[in-house]
Chain A
Amino acid sequence: MANAVSTAKELFDPAFLDSVSRFRILAKRVARGGVHAEQRSRHMGSGMEFRDYRGYAPGDDLRAIDWNIYRRLGRVFLRLFEEFEDLPVYLAPDVSRSMFHGDQPRAHAGLRAAFALAAAALNHHDSVGLFPFADELRVALKPRSGRVRMMRMAEELAAQQPGGTTDFAKSLGKFARLGMRPGLLIVVSDFFDPGGLEAVRESLLRQRHRLLLVQLTRKTDRNPDLSGDLLLRDCESGQEHDVSVTSEVVAAYRRAYESFEQGLHKLAMSQQAGLVRVDVDEPVVPQLSALFESGAFVV
């Protein structure tokens, strides 16, 4: 079992936090039921910004009746105000063994990316929950808001240990069954599910949340630096395959990988989900900046 790849101090680096301070996740509308925050809510409540009128119904708050209109029209209307609540952000980092493989594991970049997005949410009073998954999904941190959660989030992320085999269907299926308040589900993964892209698609279709997919890649995913007669062992399943790496086989591999990437892109498009590819061998923050080019990532 490999150890965690990052310490909390590495993740909670002030410079790193400073670099992500301009990130903002903006929801068009958040579901009601949250706490007061900065996201525009579907709920018309007792906010400061007037939004609309509607007719009185028994049980309504009498303080919201616009008496001036009643005086002029003789009918009772209520004044509706914009409600601002938080956006629940559910971080689901992949902690399967493939994420911790090698000298430069993907998990390092993946957890930094997750923490950057978590920080962006916490900075704007959104609640953030942590649900790491591999062959099982675990509730590491329940969704809570507040900047004070940042340290806890960093420690929790840094404490992640390699799990088992990637199983999107089981893990994200469990998450769907939790009945969480609709929000933003951020999946940080290499998406190397033994069931293939179909298993990923099935698991994502079940979600009631908006999706942001962070795909962790590296250059050798597309152009493997392998040659000769090899016995390839899958680091998760332990399955072994004799492969004589010839130019023909490499070409076939490349076709298979490109098909996978295209499939993931189509899946994101069909789900109106965000998709960002992060090269794990490059700095994470600049790559995430693409999401926030317009000032905020709107979901």
Chain B
Amino acid sequence: MSFSNLPLVWGLLGALAIAGILYLLQRLRVRHQLVEVETTLFWQQAMEESRARVLVQRFRHPWAYLLILAIALLLWLSVAGLRGGGDAQRDHVVLLDGSAAMAIGERFPEVVALANDYVGALPEDARTVVLCGGRVRTVLRPGEESLLLARRLQDAQPEASPNTVASVLQQFAQVRGDRPITVCVVGEHSLSADELALLPESIEVRQLKVSERTEANAGITALGVRPAASGKWHNVDVLVEVVGPAIPDLKLDGVAFANAPEVSASAAGSHYRFRDVPAHGQSLLAALPGGDALVHDDHAQFVLPDRRPIAVAVQAGVAAVLRQVLTADAGVVLQDTVDAETRVVIRSVGSDFGGELPALELSTMEQAEDAFLVFHPPGLDPDQVLDELYRGLGLNEIDAMSTSAALGRAVTMGAKPGTSKRLWVWQKLLQPDYDFVNSRSFPLFVGLSIRWLAGFEAGPDQIAVGQPLSLADAAVKHEGGQSRAFSASFVPGLAGSYSMASDVAVGNRGFAASLLDPHSTGVIDALAAPLPAATTATASGYDLITIFLFLALLLLGVEWLLFRTSRIP
């Protein structure tokens, strides 16, 4: 049993209140009709005789009370909308698939229509409707009118995101615990048999299927970037995976990339590899000729890393061994003087060469306690900076023990905040007498140090909607206007460009996420387990309102008859 118009607790409380109010009314002193009689002598005697049955007198007319109580309760239960049925005690969660796959043809309007029909038959206080798109939104809460659902879904559209039904269902399973829930997935689902098996027994999953896709569709299912195989630092190779017969075009900041791709095929689709694409922070757009069933997967975008050579100005007379290493680094251009292009300088501690530019500075052993001393921007945790840069600068590769033995002093690393990014290194370490400059880790240390000082970070090689992205604490803003703060890990929910509200991010310039979802493109997940179909009849139970109203009318007739015959007052 459940109430469709009221929460169960309110329904029961209302029934109790009615019984109580009627009881109190029954106990109220009756306003008697004044009648003047010739004598009350015999009435007094009659009342004296009847007074022994005090209980009956105090609670008068119990049958009349029961009759009016039955009528009032029937009317109340009709108002409350008591329903019967097997699912009465269960919560109902309706998950509307609002992913990109629903944008094909008229599938999403079909989903909305199915949901409206299904939800209309569920008890109001026990059903929740969630739209599972790139952004998960609860569009109907328990207790809200069913009519609101149609209004809220009036302007809703499928979003360029993969199917999120499975993740939403897992969240419900964690939040709701052992409470019995019937989950109805309206649309496609991507739940595997293993995922279903992990759900608690209290959760029953059903499905309202939409029509199968019939239109042909081609789409991009992967877009990746990696350092160019040619070894050219400033170039990258771009890989585009396509399902279907279409061939992708590549544009860099709106300009077509002329080189023809290498093509290979696999079970997943066709792979197009564009080699030696110059990377200096452009916006990369891979697009298929449009006009097929799903537009969301016809393009993918990516923000290329800025791999232009880093201009490094070296102070005259400072460590020639560094100049040799940097000359061999394709990502670095050496300068003798500081100009506008200069991003990093190498100088001695105390020199004003390069001013406030990030600097690799050579110190004496007396000037610094630590062999490697990092000055990082204020506000960062020194311990965290040390932890990151120990590996980030390749210092874990050097033989510190032998170097310390040769120097007669421990080789240590320290960090402290500074006004600009600087890295102090003992000048003595760069002398050929010690193993450090001869080791294989020295060029790695120099190259990584210059890139850290220049602010270069490699970043991810692919960003897909729904896939977590490791970023430092930051806030991002989608091109559609949605702004969101996150901590450490960010999952882009929608395809498109994201701008960064924080300095520490992917290339400091933002990034772009793409759908890249084989399931949405049409590669059906073979692991998806079949679900039993949901039927509104099972969920709704049977309607008792008409029966209650009829019974109330019948009892009113009985009461009128009893009143007319003076059986009840």
Q: A233 contacts B49, CB within 8 Å?
A: no
Cα–Cα, bound, A248→B35 (Å): 19
Q: B37 contacts A256, CB within 8 Å?
A: no
Cα–Cα, bound, A249→B569 (Å): 14
Cα–Cα, bound, A232→B49 (Å): 17
Residue pairs across A and B with CB atoms within 8 Å: the count is: 93
Does B267 belong to the interface (CB within 8 Å)? no
Q: Which one of B30, B31, B40 has the highest number of Cβ atoms from chain A below 10 Å of its Cβ?
A: B40
- Knowing A227-B566, A231-B32, A231-B33 touch, does A241 contact B47 (C-beta < 8 A)? yes
B44 neighbours in A (Cβ, 8 Å): 241
Q: A190 contacts B32, CB within 8 Å?
A: no
**Contact with A228, one of B37, B46, B569 (Cβ below 8 angstroms):** B569
Q: B37 contacts A235, CB within 8 Å?
A: yes
- Knowing A228-B569, A229-B569, A233-B34 touch, does A253 contact B39 (C-beta < 8 A)? no
Task: Write the A240-264 contact mask toward B (1 if CB under 8 angstroms, else 0).
Answer: 1111100011101101110010000
- Knowing A227-B566, A244-B60, A244-B569 touch, does A253 contact B34 (C-beta < 8 A)? no
Does A45 belong to the interface (CB within 8 Å)? no
**Contact with A232, one of B43, B45, B57, B569 (Cβ below 8 angstroms):** B43
Task: Write the A38-63 contact mask toward B (1 if CB under 8 angstroms, else 0).
Answer: 00000000000000000000000000
Does A192 belong to the interface (CB within 8 Å)? yes
Q: A101 contacts B36, CB within 8 Å?
A: yes
Cα–Cα, bound, A232→B60 (Å): 19
- Knowing A229-B569, A248-B50, A249-B47 touch, does A256 contact B42 (C-beta < 8 A)? yes
What total of chain A residues lie within 8 Å of the partner, measured CB to CB? 35
Task: Write the A184-202 contact mask toward B (1 if CB under 8 angstroms, else 0).
Answer: 0000001010101000000
Does A3 belong to the interface (CB within 8 Å)? no
- Knowing A101-B38, A248-B50 touch, does A229 contact B43 (C-beta < 8 A)? no
Return the chain B residue nearest A248 by Cβ: B50
Cα–Cα, bound, A242→B51 (Å): 12
B60 neighbours in A (Cβ, 8 Å): 244
Return the chain B residue nearest A197 by Cβ: B41
Q: A256 contacts B45, CB within 8 Å?
A: yes
Shortest distance between the CB of A191 and any CB in chain B (Å): 10
Q: A241 contacts B43, CB within 8 Å?
A: yes
Cα–Cα, bound, A244→B35 (Å): 12
Cα–Cα, bound, A206→B464 (Å): 122
Q: A230 contacts B35, CB within 8 Å?
A: yes
Q: Which one of A233, A253, A257 has the highest number of Cβ atoms from chain B below 10 Å of its Cβ?
A: A253
A190 neighbours in B (Cβ, 8 Å): 38-39
A-side interface mostly: mixed
- Knowing A192-B38, A192-B41 touch, does A229 contact B30 (C-beta < 8 A)? yes
B36 neighbours in A (Cβ, 8 Å): 101, 232-235
Cα–Cα, bound, A183→B34 (Å): 44
Q: Which one of A226, A232, A237, A257 has the highest number of Cβ atoms from chain B below 10 Å of its Cβ?
A: A232
Q: B30 contacts A244, CB within 8 Å?
A: yes
Task: Write the B320-346 contact mask toward A (1 if CB under 8 angstroms, else 0).
Answer: 000000000000000000000000000
Shortest distance between the CB of B131 and any CB in chain A (Å): 61
Does A98 belong to the interface (CB within 8 Å)? yes
A196 neighbours in B (Cβ, 8 Å): 41
B37 neighbours in A (Cβ, 8 Å): 101, 232-235
Return the chain B residue nearest A166 by Cβ: B39
Cα–Cα, bound, A153→B200 (Å): 107
- Knowing A229-B32, A233-B34, A244-B30 touch, does A98 contact B39 (C-beta < 8 A)? yes
Q: A234 contacts B39, CB within 8 Å?
A: yes
Does A74 belong to the interface (CB within 8 Å)? no
Does A179 belong to the interface (CB within 8 Å)? no
**Contact with A255, one of B39, B49, B569 (Cβ below 8 angstroms):** B49
A250 neighbours in B (Cβ, 8 Å): 46
Q: B39 contacts A236, CB within 8 Å?
A: yes
Shortest distance between the CB of A280 and any CB in chain B (Å): 11
B49 neighbours in A (Cβ, 8 Å): 252, 255-256
Shortest distance between the CB of B437 and any CB in chain A (Å): 114
Which residues of chain A in 169-221 are interfacial with respect to chain B, using CB atoms and an 8 Å cutoff? Answer: 190, 192, 194, 196
- 28 of the cross-chain contacts (CB-CB < 8 Å) are A98-B39, A106-B38, A227-B566, A228-B33, A228-B569, A229-B31, A229-B33, A229-B569, A230-B32, A231-B34, A231-B35, A232-B40, A234-B37, A234-B40, A235-B36, A235-B39, A241-B40, A243-B32, A243-B46, A244-B569, A249-B47, A250-B46, A252-B46, A252-B47, A253-B43, A256-B41, A256-B49, A260-B41
Additional pairs, 8, CB under 8 Å, beyond known A232-B43, A235-B37, A235-B38: A190-B38, A194-B41, A235-B39, A236-B39, A240-B34, A252-B46, A256-B41, A260-B42
Spell out A's residues near B (CB within 8 Å).
98, 101-102, 106, 190, 192, 194, 196, 226-237, 239-244, 248-250, 252-253, 255-257, 260
- 3 nearest interchain CB pairs? A231-B32, A252-B46, A256-B45
